[in-house]
Chains A and B, each alone.
Chain A
Amino acid sequence: MATTELKSDNLFEMMKIHLDSDAGKELIKNIGLVYQINIAPKKIGFDEVSYIVDLKKGEVTKGKYEGGKPDATFSFKDDDFIRVATGKMNPQIAFIRGAMKIKGSLSAAQKFTPDIFPKPAKM
């Protein structure tokens, strides 16, 4: 269970709950797009797990997007996604270095910033 999951799962779980909170509602209002995020454990493109962050409806689901096409699709390695989501790595830098792949609408992609994800606290 816990041992075979990706680190990013934590973030997505948090995001799921976060979207129900007030701050989450703000996000939905401000962005209102659907992102698909593919996380690969070791190398982009292999064994990917897809998450749909639906900032229109306010849901986070696992698996490919069913209701059409996501506004933007990202591909990350597990570690890199954590880095980008916690602000350790700037998305533009990630893009330059090839740590982040983007498909879809550019303007949608630009809205994907670290601050939409809630940060994990440290025990």
Chain B
Amino acid sequence: MNILLLKVCSYYYYYFQQLLNIRRNKRRGERIKQKKRQAREKEIKMSMRELVTGGAACAVPGSSSSSSNPVGAFANALIGSSSKTQGVLKEIPNAAAASPHAQFYPHADDPVAALPGSELDRPFLQSNPQGSEFIRGFRTADANGLADAWEEIQRQPHFDRVYEGATPAPPIQPSLDGPPQRVLSSFLHSFVDSSRSGIPLHPTPLPLLGLSQGDKQCIRDRSSIMARHIFADKSEEFINAQVNALLSSLEIENDIHARGPMPGRFRELEDYWNESQGVLKPGAHAADGWVTEFSQNRPHHGDLEAWAHSFEQKHGAGGWASEFEQEQAQLTSVDQMRGGNIESLAAIQQTRMLAHTLSQNSDPKFQNSKFLQFVSKMSRGELIIDDNQVKPASENWATEYQQQYNGGASWADEFVHDEVFRGPDHWANEFGAERLQQESVDDQWVNEFSKLHVDDWAEEFGRQVGEGALGDSSSDNWANSYDEFLNEQLAAKQRSDASRGVYVFSDMNPYVGHQNPLKEGQELFRKGLLSEAVLALEAEVMKNPENAEGWRLLGITHAENDDDQQAIAAMMRAQEADPTNLEVLLALGVSHTNELEQTAALKYLYGWLRHHPKYGTLAPPELANSLYYADVARLFNEAAQMSPEDADVHIVLGVLYNLSREYDKAIASFKTALKLKPNDYSLWNKLGATQANSVQSADAILAYQQALDLKPNYVRAWANMGISYANQGMYEESIRYYVRALAMNPKADNAWQYLRISLSCVSRNDMVEACDSRNLELLQKEFPL
């Protein structure tokens, strides 16, 4: 007869929950919001289910082979409180006896209804999940069909009126015939009903219902609570009388202290509860805590005080189930009281309870679980359930969360800005991926969760994931990817500044205040200390923002340091300061070519021609607005013919040919220029780069070597070397060169990325981590040149 017991419990849960939901659902929301909600719901539900059921002793309601589970019921109930059902529940009070079933199985157009691999037999997210699930579960689990009895009760319109304050029905005499369940149900039914009519229930001897001790206890608890709830406006005596009447009819001892361990089904619960309590014994302590909290929060509900008090007395081994059941009753009565922001307060209360309970669990994993945090925050009112969405009560939550979880930055930001609700899939993926780094206890449910959102993912890809095509290693990849994503986000700000042409100054510049930073910078540049030179030159341009030479040199230094973004930014400033400086224009042309920005590159190279004292005449100004490569190339060739001894023209020509990918011509031009200027290290680099881009990597390496001989600290050349080796498939070698380049300039983002690729090519995943964390020392030790 534990089934009976459980059914009673569950029924009450279910019903109270529906009430809450009815009121909640009166607020409308759009479908999108609902989707978002569902995404959230799923998280909450799954986590709740996992945490609550814990995969320990308790089974899952709704699965036909397992036992019913008030714990799960609670979970469902809690979830239900935050879910936005579709208004089906509204129909319940008005339910004709006709088709209650229709209410329980609402709209099938729930997009996430079909969750493959779900542990439930039926879609978890139908609008009326708890009740229908439960009833079905019970029905299957219990041969006695008590569920029928309860459903019957539900269908009774006048029962509903109990909660809707309609006209009271005449007192119903319980039918004492029929199967025990029916008798019981009708008896309980009349008990409830009697409240409305204000007529005290007569203790009626009932035929033996075969209630076990456990059943009796449960009924006793429940009825007390129910009574208090239903008869809230009546006196304490009345309540007690009613309860006693009920209990004596059922031959339940009203000795509130006579509580033994619940037999049978509840043993599982007990075990789980005890386990979760850790060293904490169920009993006064937990109750005290709860009661204290409770009293703190509800000082103005005197009636409830008394009730809480009696709860404290009664609280015993019946424990967990009754505790929550009482909470449910409390919530509903709160509802009836229509105090302030009932739903959210109620939810807060609920979650507080949950949080409290969960925090009792001494398992640190549990403590630290994200979900627990979430619930705690909910309970502390930091989160508001507003319009069936969970929103942070303040930005603080997001920030706090962000602080707590390294790398949670963008997640928190996004959440605050509601961006995370962009789609359950996006959020799910992010969340799932992020979680994987945190080593929290949410493992199972998140995995499930991510897998479950198959259909929401993009197209075939998603489907194949659901089929298990993605193995575990992919999860790691996801985690790593997400890590990178976050790093990228963090660095993105800086990059976006630079890409907009805004120069990013370094902090902590020791050269600020230096007497003549320009000179210093030039010295350092000459010596090849590029990063130092950068600092000195920055100091210079901070002092004299119009110093074209300062900016120019800064730009060149950055280019040699393999930082095209900063190079462009600095060069732009230089150009502002001095629009006719040829070197600046050339440098800009080169940088843009490197970035494959063809239009811009053309513009600057053409500008070079126009401003050149000798060839300016060749370049008609009107052409500048509609530059076609062919024209520009032609002009340059004319210039070259004009003065074949001018190396610069050849250099520019070489760059131009790179733009059009006429690599052979480019190589020829550069070689010509090199004959004229053999000691120009940057020219050697250009040659090498051209050769590399035409996949003549072996030649390229030779050219780079020449450049490096001329300038040993030429970071760009080092990086290019690495590229050439990598392109040839010689990844080991390439790694060493990348590391060397990075040692000279740790800010060379390109090099970091290429290094990472090479590392993964040789499957040195341990070093990939070092790479991600930019651990230069380790890499240098591992890969010396």
Contact = CB atoms under 8 A, between A and B. Distances in A.
Contact of B689 (A17, A87, A92, A123): A123
A120 B693 contact: yes
A47 interface: no
A114 B484 CA distance: 15
A17 B695 contact: yes
Interface string A103-123: 110110110011100111111
A107 B433 CA distance: 20
Contacts of B719: 122
A115 B734 CA distance: 13
A56 interface: no
Contact of B661 (A10, A101, A103): A10
Max chain B CB contacts within 10 Å: which of A3, A20, A97, A123?
A123
Contact of B727 (A18, A82, A114): A18
Given A17-B694, A87-B754, A123-B655, A3 B629 contact: yes
Max chain B CB contacts within 10 Å: which of A9, A110, A115?
A115
B464 interface: yes
B508 interface: no
A89 interface: yes
A3 B61 CA distance: 65
Nearest to B688: A121
B568 to A, nearest CB: 12
Contacts of A106: 460-461, 464-465, 469-470
Interface stretch (A21-29, A34-42, A62-70): A21-29
B630 interface: yes
Contact of A90 (B470, B484, B660): B484
B757 A21 contact: no
Given A87-B754, A104-B460, A122-B720, A96 B484 contact: no
A88 interface: yes
B596 A82 contact: yes
A107 B461 CA distance: 10
Nearest to A13: B661
Interface residues of B, number: 69
Contacts of B686: 123
Interface residues of A, number: 45
Nearest to B477: A92
A35 to B, nearest CB: 15
A111 to B, nearest CB: 13
A74 B248 CA distance: 74
B648 to A, nearest CB: 15
A35 B754 CA distance: 23
Contacts of B430: 96
Contacts of B361: none
Nearest to A86: B753
B429 A21 contact: no
Given A10-B661, A22-B729, A93-B488, A3 B627 contact: yes
A31 interface: no
B729 A26 contact: yes
A9 B694 CA distance: 13
Interface string B624-650: 000111100000000000000000000
Nearest to B593: A123
A1 B744 CA distance: 39
Contacts of A87: 753-754, 756-757
Given A86-B750, A96-B433, A120-B594, 17 more contacts: A3-B598, A10-B661, A17-B694, A17-B695, A82-B596, A86-B754, A87-B753, A90-B481, A92-B478, A95-B461, A98-B458, A110-B474, A113-B760, A115-B758, A120-B596, A121-B693, A123-B689
28 contacts: A2-B602, A2-B660, A3-B598, A5-B598, A7-B597, A14-B693, A18-B695, A20-B695, A21-B695, A21-B728, A26-B729, A86-B750, A88-B749, A96-B426, A96-B429, A96-B481, A102-B460, A109-B461, A113-B760, A115-B758, A115-B761, A118-B727, A119-B723, A119-B727, A119-B754, A120-B596, A121-B688, A123-B593
Interface of B: 426, 429-430, 433, 458-461, 464-465, 469-470, 474, 477-478, 480-482, 484-485, 488, 562, 564, 590, 593-594, 596-599, 602, 627-630, 655, 658-661, 685-686, 688-690, 692-695, 697, 700, 716, 719-720, 723-724, 726-729, 749-750, 753-754, 756-758, 760-761
Interface of A: 1-3, 5, 7, 9-10, 13-14, 17-18, 20-23, 26, 82, 86-90, 92-93, 95-98, 101-104, 106-107, 109-110, 113-115, 118-123
